[in-house]
Structure formats: C-alpha cells, structure tokens
C-alpha cells in the first residue's frame, strides 16, 4: 500500500475537523499526553502578540544558530510550503518526517478530533522530541490562552505588540485581547513584554499571576543609539547600535532579552552579524527584477500596515509606488485602506479564490472609490494582479504587495521565476 504524501495528509486534515478554528486545550492536550509531549526536557520560549511574532522568533533562532545551539522552531502560517512551519537546526522538516509525525498522531488520537493547526502543533513537538533539540521556540497562532501551543509551559514567555485583530475570537479592544495573550504567562517564569504601550490588563494579569515582568523601556531597549538588556543578577548588558534594516527594535531587543533569561548570553559584537543573517519571507522582503522593485509584506491589520507605510516613507523609491492588495474579509479593511491614503499611485486589487474568508476585490475597490481613489485595477487572483501591475511598471518603480499571507504566497512563485529568467 502506498504511503500517504504530505499533500494528501494536509488535504485530509483540512476536512477532518468541523471548523477551521476551535480554540481550547482539552482535546490537543489529551493527544499530546498520549505521545508524551507535554513536558519537554529543554527550555521553551513561547511568543504571542498581534504583530512581530515571526520576526522575534527569527531573531532568537538566528542567535541560537550563531551559538551552535540546536533549536526546534514552530511558526505559522506558512507562505509557500507547510514545511516552513517546522524547522530543526535551521532546516525545514522534510515531507517524510512530517508524514511520520502525522501518522504517530493519528495512531493515538482515537476518537479525538483535531484541527489542522492542532495536528501541525503536535507534529512539531513530536519532531522536536525525536530530534533531541536543545531549545524550542513556539509562535502562538491565535491569541494565547486557548492556542494549541499553550499546552506547553514556557520557560520564558514573550508578548510583542498588541493590536486589534481576530476580534471575533479575542475581544473588541486591546484590553480584552491582551488578556488572551497573557494566557501564555506562568507563575515565577519571566514574561518579556515588547509592546511600548502595554494595556493595563496585561500588566495586571502578569502581576496577579506572579510572572517576572521584563518591560520595554524599563528592563530592555534597543534603538539607533544602542540599548541594554536587564540580567537576572541585576546587571545590565549594554548593546551596540541597531544595524539598519527592516527589523523593529522592540522585537530584536525582546528576542535577546528572552534568550538571556533562558541562559543564552548575548555577545554585542556578534549582534550585527546575527541580525544580518535573519531572513523572513514576506516580511518587508525586497526583490529586484529587471530594475523594478517588489516589496512583499504580510501586513494584514492597521498596526502592521502603519509600520509598513513608515518603512516606505523612510526608504522612498525613485519611481512610482504601486500597491497589490488582497485581504481576508474578517480584517479591518477600511482601517488599513484609510492609513494607506496617498502612499500609492495606483492599486491592483485581487480576490483570494479558494480561501474561505477571502474578501472579494470588487468590495475593496468600492471602499477605495469612496475614499477618492481612481487608479484601480481588479483581478481574480494575486498572480493576475501581479501581471497587470508589471504591464505598467517602468524601471525604478516599486510594487508593494501586502494584505495577507495568501497575497504574498500567491505571487512569490511567479516573482522567483521572473528572477531566475534574469540570471
């Protein structure tokens, strides 16, 4: 009998559970217990937040690799391949290993139904255990308190910026959302808070839960003129200037602070090399093809779009700046478009066919027209929108591709092919 491929496994997992999102720890904990995964024998660093989780994890991974440490890293969602979600010692998990993990989970779950994300989380933990990693880095998928990764007690918890996203599940304001993020904190364990203006509910929850608080601006900081990290013994580690780049200072500093608390001391002299090695697809990823720039960013809420626009202002292009935008229907679309204002000379909008919550491009176009925008093209998918944008781009122009992981994932293969043709 032919063994299932990774593609067939993923197709099955998408249909296995009645809902895409089913927050709660009871089912996934039960299966994790049967696999012996609930108490890893190595330090675990868990990262929650609205924006900045992926880059914070990426900095920690790069720093651990620089130290020669074998790290297991779990992130979500992926952009091109499911394998991106699970990495061991800097390498993506193979199809064969992921299929082996899925088979092990299937063999013990019995009548317990699991979501796609829960299967993925258990597969990562299973492979980390088998690979004998020295550190585990876990990125929360949604919220924190009821997210599948929260079945594992973190050695250090990190909470990045908190914004208004996933409000149908997490709450309608930052105070409510912060309480969900605070669910990853544990008594007597360090809690690194990277939000420069953390909601009062987050601080109160940390204090009431007896977490050891480390706050941006008080215990750690990093900027153009250097910074510092607070050590457990009360001393401060001075850091050099932050090298120029797309990484936000608070995420870099939070990553280094978390590693310090997990026993990995930073070497300031190595910081520029470590950060220059960080490569994160779809996070202000810049590609140059035939003299035209393509800037890809998975920004999908007002806070992340504001950060993207600030980056554009700091790094203006020499020609026109165009937008390729496709988005999920449950996002604050009006808020994102309102911020974009007059940053773009033209809009190339796309629908997201086959994506359950994908917004129709015509509805986005109507919002832009109401705001006074007239240079608008509507396409049936991101790839078609890309080709239409390329049809009007001249040397020196920049196309900014944003709105969703699906948007970036929808155009990257085509851009990589274009890049290969020019080599």
| Angle of CA points 112, 118, 121, to nearest 5° | 130
> What is d(CA 116, CA 80) in angstroms, rounded to the nearest whole number?
17
Per-residue b or e along 398-415, where b marks 16 or more CB atoms closer than 10 Å to that residue's CB: bbbbbbbbbbbbbbbeeb
Q: Which secondary structure element, helix H or strand E, spans residue 99, and what is its range?
A: helix 95-109
| Cβ–Cβ < 8 Å for 105, 35 | yes
- Which positions ≥6 away from 279 have C-beta within 8 Å? 58
Of residues 292, 362, 359, 352, the one with CA closest to residue 322? 292
What does the pLDDT read at residue 164?
75
Kindly give the confidence (pLDDT) of every residue in the chain, 423 residues in length, as a single tens digit, with 9 standing for 90 and above: 578 899 999 999 988 887 777 778 999 999 999 999 999 999 999 999 999 999 999 999 999 999 999 999 999 999 999 999 999 999 999 999 999 999 999 999 999 999 999 999 999 999 999 999 999 999 999 888 999 999 999 999 999 999 876 666 566 788 989 998 999 999 999 999 999 999 999 999 999 999 999 999 999 999 878 899 999 888 999 998 887 677 889 999 999 999 999 999 999 999 989 998 998 888 899 999 999 999 999 999 999 999 999 999 988 888 999 999 999 998 999 999 999 978 999 999 999 998 888 999 999 999 999 988 889 999 999 999 999 999 999 999 999 999 999 999 999 999 999 988 887
Cβ atoms of residues 143 and 149 within 8 Å = no
pTM of the prediction? 0.93
pLDDT at 113: 92
Span between the terminal Cα atoms of the chain, in Å:
43
Q: Are 358 and 352 in contact (CB under 8 A)?
A: yes
Q: What pLDDT sits at residue 169?
A: 59
Give the pLDDT of residue 163. 83
State the Cα–Cα distance between residues 78 and 141, nearest whole angstrom: 11
CA 227, CA 172: separation in Å to the nearest integer? Answer: 34
- The per-residue pLDDT for 142 is 82
List the one residue out of 136, 142, 139, 138 whose CA is nearest residue 115.
142
The C-alpha atoms of residue 44 and residue 157 are separated, in whole angstroms, by 8
């Amino acid at each position: 009998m032919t063994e299932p491929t990774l593609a067939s496994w993923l197709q099955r997992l998408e249909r296995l559970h009645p809902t895409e999102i089913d927050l709660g720890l009871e089912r996934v904990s039960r299966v994790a217990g049967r696999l012996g995964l609930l108490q890893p024998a190595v330090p675990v660093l868990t990262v929650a937040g609205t924006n900045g989780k992926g880059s914070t994890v990426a900095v920690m991974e790069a720093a651990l690799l620089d130290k020669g440490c074998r790290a297991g890293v779990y992130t979500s969602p992926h952009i091109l391949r499911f394998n991106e979600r699970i990495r061991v010692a800097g390498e993506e998990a193979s199809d064969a290993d992921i299929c082996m993990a899925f088979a092990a989970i299937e063999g013990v779950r019995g009548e317990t139904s699991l979501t796609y994300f829960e299967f993925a989380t258990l597969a990562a933990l299973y492979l980390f255990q088998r690979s004998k990693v020295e550190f585990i880095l876990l990125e929360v998928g949604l919220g924190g308190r009821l997210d599948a990764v929260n079945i594992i007690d973190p050695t250090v918890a990190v909470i990045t910026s908190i914004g208004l996203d996933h409000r149908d599940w997490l709450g309608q304001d930052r105070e409510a959302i912060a309480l969900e993020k605070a669910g990853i904190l544990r008594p007597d364990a360090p809690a690194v808070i990277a939000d420069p203006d953390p909601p009062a509910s987050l601080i109160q929850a940390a204090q009431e839960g007896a977490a050891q608080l480390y706050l941006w601006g008080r215990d750690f900081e990093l900027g153009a003129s250097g910074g510092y990290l607070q050590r457990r013994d009360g001393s401060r580690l001075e850091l050099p200037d932050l090298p120029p780049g797309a990484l936000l200072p608070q995420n870099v500093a939070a990553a280094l602070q978390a590693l310090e608390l997990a026993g990995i001391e930073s070497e300031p002299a190595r910081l520029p090399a470590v950060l220059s090695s960080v490569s994160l697809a779809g996070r202000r990823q810049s590609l140059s093809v035939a003299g035209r720039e393509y800037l890809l960013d998975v920004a999908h809420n007002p806070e992340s779009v504001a950060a993207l626009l600030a980056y554009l202002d700091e790094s203006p292009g020499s020609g026109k700046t165009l937008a390729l935008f496709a988005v999920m229907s449950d996002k604050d679309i009006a808020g994102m478009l309102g911020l974009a204002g007059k940053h773009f000379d033209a809009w190339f909008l796309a629908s997201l066919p086959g994506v359950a919550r994908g917004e129709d491009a015509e509805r986005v176009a109507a919002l832009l027209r109401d705001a006074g925008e007239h240079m608008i093209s509507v396409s049936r998918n991101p790839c078609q929108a890309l080709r239409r944008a390329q049809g009007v781009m001249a040397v020196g122009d920049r196309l900014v591709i944003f709105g969703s992981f699906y948007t970036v994932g929808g155009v990257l293969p085509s851009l990589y092919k274009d890049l290969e043709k020019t080599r």
